[in-house]
Structure 1
Amino acid sequence: MNLDWVSKDGKLLLGARIVRTFSYGFLSVILAIYLKLIGFGDIAIGLVLTTTLVNSVFFNLFSSAYADKIGRKNTLIIFAVLMIASSVIFFVTDNYVALVIAALVGTINVTGSEVGAFLSLEQALLPQTVKDIKKRNSIFAIYNAVGTFAMSAGVLVSGLPSVLQNYGLDKIGAIKSLFLIYAACAVIVLAIYLFLSKNIEVKDNAPKSSLSLKNISPKSRGIIAKMSTLFAVDSFGGGFVIQSIISFWFYTRFGADLTSLSYIFAIAGVLTAISYMASTKIASKIGLVNTMVFTHIPSNVLMILLAFAPSFSIAISLFFARMSLSQMDVPTRQSYLMGVVSEDERIPAAVFTNTSRNISQAVSPSLSGIIISTLSLSAPFVVGGVLKIVYDVGIFFSFRKIKPPEEL
């Protein structure tokens, strides 16, 4: 793939994304299972998963308030250091309080897609790493595609504990070894960020980002507020079916082992990555908003049907079909948002919309634990699917007439 149209900083951000999401791949599959093996109940597991998402809320707000004050590069470096710290804590102890603290202050990602501290800042930086406005959709598609391919490769590593058990490690010890790999990935991410240039920093005469929307134009303020609300609905629904919960569902309902799960999520990741690139082609024909909505509704119908799958093979088929469509809205919504606000509004726009997603998604895993305990193992799929369809309808009627510059 020729990336001559992407700056050095853009390529470094893509590299960091690849390494980071590789580590997220295996962690999202094994974390809930690991917590179950060391004695945590369903509700306790949900609380730990929720804490990892609360972390994203705090650090997104931190990015908005301080990234342009202490430096965008320095902010990314801080996040990488915290990623290292959290992985080490998960490796050295299984104390519940310590793990909650690690999930809260570190960057443990369990969703199967990136929602954490790095995303908002990188999302705002990407458009300025390309000169041609028509390439904005492409850089977001590539950013998400390479991350998902890397995550798929990482998912395959979740089968490593099964191999290590053949060499004398018990199941828990074998899984814990993956936290060391996670730490190594975090060190590489840190090293990549050290090579970023001053070009990613805010210009001296440009407004600096903050937690306030007062410096944002009334038009952009309305777009950000409405989109934040709708994104919150989408993420609240999505929080019921994060990858750790789906992994737990396959493990519990059908007895899928870690090796099988690694293959399932790896294939799903490849399908998702291909869909990212396809979304750019579709958006060029029917527009970003239409692409977001008309690919997302069918995927949510498939998620609801997944709850009623009578067999393992049918469940896998429905899951793969869903993953071929469900993430097409990701690069399109990122590109759309960065296109309809001005350059100096991009960091607060990314932060506020992603923070709304993180706050609402942080609640859902705990509720999933309660729903699973009181209703059924599959109930979260139905709840999540219905809520995400509500989001799709809202996006269509709210933004179908607001076009980014390249669609005017």
Structure 2
Amino acid sequence: MALSERDTRLMILSAILANLAWGLFSVIFQLYMKEIGYTSKEIGEVLAIYGISLSSVALPSGAIADRFGRKSTLIVGYLLEIISLLLLLISKEMSIIRISFLFSGISAALSHPAYQALFALHTREMERGFSSLAFFSTFSSSMGSLMGWIPEVLSGKLGELRAYYLSLLIVFSFFVLSVVPLIWVSPHRDELKEGRRKERTSFRRIYREKAMLKLIFLNGVIGFGAGLTIPLFTYYFSEKFSVGPGPIGTLYTVNGLMMSPLFLLSSRLSDKLGLIKAIFYPQL
């Protein structure tokens, strides 16, 4: 049974709400930490905790989703993220922030693969489906980044710290709302149980596939470069150009708006060049 149009729309709606949250969070979090008094080294430390926890849980996360169901794993991952954001709201202590990002990394490791697998479940036109998902996700993230003007405007009346805190509440609210559509998505548990017995594949067999090895290598190169440059962009722009979340968010928005329409062309590019080349060439 393919995911119904209703289920697909619910999952895209969830992605839109979650990416609105992350678009705003990506703009304000480092500036919030900076306003509290933390240095770039300490901000980098919590980002490293996120990356380590994500990578540690990412490998077994697929097996966890197979064992307990993709929808269940996805919702558990989202609930962990809600706990992570709640910890940021209730405490400014570094020890609590570390725990928050530990939970956030585990959340991402559980929810991202489960979401992709659930969305792909028996999808008739996978390339077009995922290109549409990427478009809506990137566009909504861009709109979330544009909300960086909220603390920029409110800081004059509330002070910067309170303005950032209110923005974190907005992030929290959007993410809580993003869970609601997922509750109504059909899990198709009976079919998944049958499919797991037929489709269970060892890691050794996966790594023998040349296409999979190419994708692993490509993602490794991209991830290494991104890890060296992207995490502290917001902090760098703030320090280098003495700008706040409004201009930084606008910069992210422009970048996202330029990129998002191209996702709608990705399925055609895949048909013309092949899947691997269509993934590889745009990264050059």
Task: Please state which band the TM-score falls in when normalised by the shorter chain.
Answer: 0.7 to 0.9
Aligned to 1:70: 68
Aligned to 1:179: 168
CA distance in 2, matches of 1:177, 1:269: 24
Aligned to 2:188: 199
Q: Does 1:240 align with 2:228?
A: yes
> Secondary structure of 2:250's partner?
helix
Pairing of 1:144-155 with structure 2 (within 5 A): 144-155=134-145
Pairing of 1:53-132 with structure 2 (within 5 A): 53-106=51-104, 116-131=109-124
Aligned to 1:317: none
Q: Which has the higher mean CA deviation after the structures are superposed, 286-295 or 271-280?
A: 286-295
Which blocks of at least 5 consecutive residues in structure 1 are unaligned? Answer: 110-114, 298-408
- The alignment covers a number of residue pairs equal to 281
Deviations 1:82-141 (A, max 9, x none): 1111111111111001101110013599xxxxx65422112222232522xxx2111111
Q: Is the 8 A contact 2:57 2:106 kept in 1?
A: no
Q: Is the 8 A contact 2:52 2:105 kept in 1?
A: no
> Secondary structure of 2:232's partner?
helix
TM-score (norm 1): 0.63
Q: Is the 8 A contact 2:128 2:267 kept in 1?
A: yes
> Higher relative contact order at CA 8 Å, sep ≥6: structure 1 or structure 2?
2
Aligned to 1:388: none
Gap change, CA 1:55 and 1:193, over 3 Å in 2: farther
CA distance in 2, matches of 1:201, 1:231: 33
Deviations 1:60-96 (A, max 9, x none): 3453232222222211111121111111111111100
Aligned to 1:306: none
Aligned to 1:292: 279
Higher helix share: 2
Pairing of 1:375-394 with structure 2 (within 5 A): none
Give the AA of the match of 2:153: V
- CA shift, 1:174, in A, is 0.9
Give the AA of the match of 2:163: A
Gap change, CA 1:284 and 1:33, over 3 Å in 2: same
Give the AA of the match of 1:95: E
Q: Is the 8 A contact 1:6 1:130 kept in 2?
A: no
Q: Is the 8 A contact 1:68 1:202 kept in 2?
A: no
- Identical pairs, percent: 23
CA distance in 1, matches of 2:59, 2:206: 20
Pairing of 1:200-219 with structure 2 (within 5 A): 203-207=192-196, 212-214=202-204, 216=205, 219=208
Aligned to 1:43: 41
Give the AA of the match of 2:273: I
TM-score (norm 2): 0.88
Q: Is the 8 A contact 1:71 1:201 kept in 2?
A: no
Q: Is the 8 A contact 2:215 2:276 kept in 1?
A: no
Gap change, CA 1:154 and 1:25, over 3 Å in 2: same
Q: Does 1:268 align with 2:255?
A: yes
Pairing of 1:322-337 with structure 2 (within 5 A): none
Gap change, CA 1:52 and 1:210, over 3 Å in 2: farther
Q: Does 1:19 align with 2:24?
A: no
Which blocks of at least 5 consecutive residues in structure 2 are unaligned? Answer: none
